[in-house]
Amino acid sequence: MGLQVAYLFADEDGETHFADLDLVADIQPAESTVSLFVVPTTSMSYVEYPAGELEIMPGFHPTPSRHFITPLQGAFEVTTTTGERRVIRQGDWILFDDMDSKGHTTKGVGADRRINLLISIADEWKVPRS
């Protein structure tokens, strides 16, 4: 079992959807090491949001770049154009990959202040397909 990631992507019509990814470790016993998957990154950001159930970017919007987010504190809800919703909580991971799409919405969940770690992905990295 690897890192469980909610994957937000767009289809050819620009509609957004979720899929579940399992980013699996690559074990190399002959070398007596364990090599985890590697994702080339371009930046990492620490983002604090005001407390409450706010939409920081109101309405549907595509992500400006491909990135992972994991909440360090608090939670947020993501809604696709097809109406599917997921709550991303502390310790969960989501990969936003809906750049050329009709977008998604996000809003805080609960009264806790939200703090997210955002990790931008290099263009050359491709999502593993099972």
Q: Are 101 and 16 in contact (CB under 8 A)?
A: yes
Residue 19 makes CB contacts below 8 A (sequence gap 6+) with: 7, 9
Can you give the CATH number for the domain in which 77 is found?
Answer: 2.60.120.10
How far apart are the C-alpha atoms of 67 and 95, rounded to whole Å? 6
> Within a domain: residue 129?
no
Note the pLDDT tens digit of each residue in 27-73. 555 655 555 667 889 999 999 998 888 888 889 999 999 999 999 99
> Within a domain: residue 126?
no
pLDDT for position 34: 56
pLDDT for position 88: 98
In Å, what is the CA distance from 7 to each residue of 29, 129, 130?
A: 30, 12, 13
> Within a domain: residue 97?
yes
Domain count, the chain: 1
Note the pLDDT tens digit of each residue in 71-129. 999 999 999 999 999 999 999 999 999 999 999 999 999 998 999 999 999 999 998 87
pLDDT for position 57: 85
State which residues form the domain around 53: 3-121
Q: Is the pLDDT of residue 16 over 80?
A: yes
> What's this model's pTM, rounded to 2 decimal places?
0.89
Closest CA to 93 of 114, 111, 74, 118: 118
